[in-house]
Structure 1
């Protein structure tokens, strides 16, 4: 092996070692948070299930149809919460790994976008919990037949809310995606604005695919998607003003 090949191999190995270390740190962070929260696993589940249990008829409660559900449902929720709480640290590790390869102007743009994406993801989860859940659970618990008692399985409920948490968290990243598209030059703000009608249709299609099959859940996801798209357009026009060519003046 030539000296040049050895010089090229050495940086690759050092990058792989650094990547392994940062992955291990991220996993350790999730594990530590999980161990700290595991004692409160049942309390976390009570908090997440509160929007539904507050609307259940008097004398009814949630049920567990599987023998292992009373343990694994809170366990799964605690793991997901641990991952969510550790996400800023995980993204910091990812940023520290890729930052040396970026230009200064890219770093100046990436840091605010990274912080904004974290805040927006959490905002999407909060919006789902405090706004969407009371509306859709109020609707579901009020339209059933009078002779049917509502007793939701705890595992089914957890899968339902985690799906909505993820859907709304990703949805609230739309302003970031819009800014990146415009900043990269792939499309202009005016071009996106001219296709607003198509964007609204796509929002409702994604609302149909990412939420349960009812018009309320779909609308509660599609309308914020459209509003967040408009926010991304507004911010792009504010931050990325078109450059005027002096020769054209």
Structure 2
């Protein structure tokens, strides 16, 4: 990686300690962004908890209304209910305060994600060639778009499926579902963040292809294994029922196919660049 210097001045290689110092400041700025947004989320307690965290517990949540209407079209009453059959409790003295703190931090990470990606990009981009930097200009937008799409998918699809299944599940009528606040929030947090990371698959494949670890032929060859892995991931972040796993697996498989296309495009661009370099070498 080369240190950016004003035009006209000679470029100097950065030492290992210089790289660490540069990385430290990028991490500091990213942390400050997360803390600032986390403080705002901490202050907006009512909106964060009543408007977002506890909304999937409400029978009027958009996903439940849509699934109820869809089920009624085929003569079923699935997902049609007036109230979730469970309550949420805080069983420790600092339970609610701790949940408030960690939920605010999670909100800070999610909202500040584009800025975190921007700081990461500022750190790695000086080490790229001009053509690589130009072809990757949309990286921040693409990564942020995919992440937020995954977060919304996790919140509006994975979360209500999980809460509905686990909230209604009983081994016996004598056992009441009274969930701890931390357990409830952890379910939502895991669903949202896991979906956000999974939706970054095309970006991950792009960089793995750039460094030569992945090729389109490799991805096509092991597509069947990828299908198994996707189904396992779907089973981990969703309730153990086939319908929920399929709902989650389908978009991930689509992302996998898109990733093959992206990998092929990267290889094609690299081949074109190599041909141009060979022509220039031959002429000289």
In which range does the TM-score fall when normalised by the shorter chain? 0.7 to 0.9
For residues 56 and 74 of structure 1, the distance between their equivalents in structure 2, rounded to whole angstroms, comes to 28
Alignment of 1:1-249 (within 5 A): 12-46=16-50, 47-54=52-59, 57=83, 61-144=87-170, 145-208=172-235, 210-211=236-237, 214-216=240-242, 218-237=245-264, 241=268
Deviation at 1:211, TM superposition (A): 2.4
For residues 155 and 169 of structure 1, the distance between their equivalents in structure 2, rounded to whole angstroms, comes to 21
State the TM-score, normalizing by the size of structure 1. 0.79
Structure 1 unaligned residues grouped into runs of 5+: 1-7
Deviations 1:204-242 (A, max 9, x none): 23334x426623554444333222101222344466548
Deviation at 1:120, TM superposition (A): 0.8
CA RMSD between the two structures = 3.1
Deviation at 1:38, TM superposition (A): 1.3
> CA 1:196/1:74 → structure 2, altered by over 3 Å: closer, same or farther?
same
Structure 2 unaligned residues grouped into runs of 5+: 1-11, 60-80, 276-284
Deviations 1:142-193 (A, max 9, x none): 4435454433211101112211222111111122233334454444324422
> CA 1:56/1:141 → structure 2, altered by over 3 Å: closer, same or farther?
farther
For residues 192 and 14 of structure 1, the distance between their equivalents in structure 2, rounded to whole angstroms, comes to 37
For residues 207 and 14 of structure 2, the distance between their equivalents in structure 1, rounded to whole angstroms, comes to 34
Where 1:152 maps in the other structure, the secondary structure is strand
Counting helix residues as a fraction of each chain, which structure ranks higher? 1
